């Protein structure tokens, strides 16, 4: 029968050797952990505004639909690990014995000769990219697919990146022969994981998945990265013994793991009614907002000269940044502040004293080119700084 997803999963998501013990985490458990924590983050960590924004960005604008989608994304994010290229990957710090024990699990599940598999191009198939590719084969659109492909911090630039996986079938299915029984077992197992995620989230088919507008995709990607980071913390979500096949109380594991991580609620701004005293206590003087409460018959007129602000009258009309932006937009030329200052001085425009002058006696100062001088002059005329 091959792999049984819900009870005796042979795929590993994480493995570790600690104090002489061989530990692992079944892939299906990590997917369930991440799906569950994604929902808890949705309910207890995102702000009302973030949830509303995501909901309103879906083709079906419903809180329940959004929650189910969040869980589904978590439950398929590592489907790319259900491939021979990942399952044959050696551990970074464990002994070869643990690697062999996990490969033997796969052999017993029906993946014949996986122990002896040598792939030609294993580095060409990162699990997040193979995950995006597999989901596309199952009919998942790019809006969700790009979230899966980017959950390790970088989304791909074009569809061609994940579609290249079609050239590495051995990485995905162990054998390129379409009639090979082991190859077909990989395909069925991957499809089982996908269909289990759909069913667990209340979807009858892939067509029921909602469409997501791009800004919300970014928020959902961030949510997935956060959920995956939490569930990858072995203090909150510990690995199990190599001779155990599953976690007994999965719901309790998810809830307790989330509570162990969650040190504080979402930040909420403090509501201050007496802002006058708050300002005075913080800065030592009363806020100028008090002027609005003065008796209109008892007030003082104040005039502030531009010199008091260390700002010349010409400079008050346009900043260096505004001049640079104008020149770029009209002439597509980049002009440094030095060139602008040179042309201002040439036009007799008063400049503020430069307090950060070089102390070198013989300093080579680049001079503005005629082309850029003409562009700067155009900007000065536009801002009415010269006639």
pLDDT digits (tens, 9 = 90+) for 34-75: 999 999 999 999 999 999 999 999 999 999 999 999 999 999
What CA–CA distance (Å, rounded) separates 20 from 29?
23
Tell me the two tokens of residue 210.
Answer: 């909602």
Sign of CA dihedral 35, 39, 40, 42: positive
Full-model pTM:
0.68
CA 87/CA 99 separation, integer angstroms? 9
Over residues 344-354, the mean pLDDT reads 76
The mean pLDDT value for 340-357 works out to: 74
Question: What does each C-alpha distance from 4 to 1, 182, 245, 378 come to in angstroms?
Answer: 8, 15, 11, 74
The per-residue pLDDT for 267 is 55
CB 107 within 8 A of CB 53: no
Tell me how far apart the alpha carbons of residues 224 and 253 are, in angstroms, rounded to a whole number: 19
Sequence-distant (6+) residues with CB within 8 A of 205 are 198
Q: Which residues contact 146 (CB under 8 A, 6 or more apart)?
A: 132, 155, 156, 217, 221
Residue 159 has a CB neighbour count (10 Å cut-off) of: 14
Q: What is the pLDDT of residues 82-109, one digit of tens each?
A: 999 999 999 877 778 999 999 999 999 9
Per-residue pLDDT at 293 exceeds 60: no
Contact 136, 145 (CB under 8 A): yes
The mean pLDDT value of the chain amounts to: 86
Task: Confirm if 194 and 69 have CB atoms less than 8 A apart.
Answer: no
In whole angstroms, what is the distance from residue 66 CA to residue 60 CA? 8
Structure tokens at 100: 């062999």
Alpha helix (H) residue ranges in the chain: 27-44, 48-56, 63-76, 84-87, 96-108, 127-137, 142-149, 159-163, 169-173, 181-200, 214-231, 250-261, 275-283, 320-331, 337-346, 370-382
| Greatest mean pLDDT among 20-24, 315-319, 354-358 | 20-24
246-264: average pLDDT: 89
The reported pLDDT for the residue numbered 311 is 46
Averaged pLDDT, 150-176: 92
CA-to-CA distance for 375 and 268, rounded, in angstroms?
Answer: 49
Q: Which two tokens stand for residue 84?
A: 């021979």
The Cα 289–Cα 274 span in angstroms is: 12
pLDDT higher at 280 or 229: 229
Give the chain's largest Cα–Cα span. 95
Contact 110, 45 (CB under 8 A): no
More confident residue, 275 or 343: 343
CA 248 to centroid of chain Cα atoms: 32
Q: How many alpha carbons fall within 13 Å on the CB side of residue 124?
A: 14
Closest CA to 380 of 293, 317, 331, 290: 317
d(CA 11, CA 23): 13
Evaluated on CA atoms 55, 57, 60, 65, the torsion sign reads: negative
């Amino acid at each position: 029968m091959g792999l049984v997803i819900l009870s005796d999963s042979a795929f590993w998501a994480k493995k570790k050797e600690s104090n002489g013990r061989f530990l692992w985490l079944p892939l299906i458990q990590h997917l369930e952990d991440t799906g569950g924590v994604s929902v808890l983050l949705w309910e207890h960590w995102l702000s009302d505004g973030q949830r509303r924004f995501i909901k309103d960005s879906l083709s079906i604008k419903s809180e329940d639909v959004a929650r189910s989608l969040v869980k589904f994304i978590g439950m398929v994010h590592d489907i790319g690990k259900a491939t021979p290229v990942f399952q044959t990957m050696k551990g970074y710090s464990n002994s070869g014995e643990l690697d062999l024990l996990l490969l033997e699990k796969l052999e017993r599940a029906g993946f014949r000769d996986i122990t002896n598999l040598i792939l030609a191009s294993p580095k060409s198939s990162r699990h997040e990219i193979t995950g995006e590719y597999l989901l596309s084969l199952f009919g998942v659109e790019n809006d969700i697919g790009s979230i899966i492909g980017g959950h390790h911090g970088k989304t791909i630039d074009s569809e061609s990146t994940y579609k290249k996986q079609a050239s590495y079938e051995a990485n995905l299915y162990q054998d390129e022969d379409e009639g090979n029984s082991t190859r077909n077992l990989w395909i069925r197992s991957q499809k089982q994981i996908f269909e289990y995620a759909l069913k667990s989230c209340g979807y009858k088919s892939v067509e029921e998945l909602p469409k997501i507008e791009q800004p919300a995709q970014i928020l959902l990607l961030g949510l997935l990265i956060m959920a995956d980071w939490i569930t990858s913390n072995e203090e909150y979500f510990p690995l199990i013994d190599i001779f155990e096949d599953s976690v007994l109380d999965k719901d309790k594991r998810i809830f307790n793991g989330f509570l162990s991580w969650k040190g504080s609620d979402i930040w909420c701004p403090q509501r201050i009614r007496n802002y006058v005293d708050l300002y005075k206590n913080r800065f030592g003087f009363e806020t100028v907002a008090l002027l609005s409460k003065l008796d209109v018959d008892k007030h003082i007129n104040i005039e502030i000269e531009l010199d008091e602000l260390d700002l010349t009258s010409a400079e008050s009309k346009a900043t260096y940044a505004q001049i640079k932006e104008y020149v770029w937009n009209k002439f597509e030329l980049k002009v440094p502040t030095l060139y602008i200052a040179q042309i201002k001085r040439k036009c007799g425009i008063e400049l503020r004293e430069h307090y950060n002058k070089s102390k070198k006696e013989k300093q080579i100062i680049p001079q503005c080119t005629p082309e850029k001088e003409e562009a700067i002059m155009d900007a000065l005329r536009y801002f009415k700084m010269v006639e």
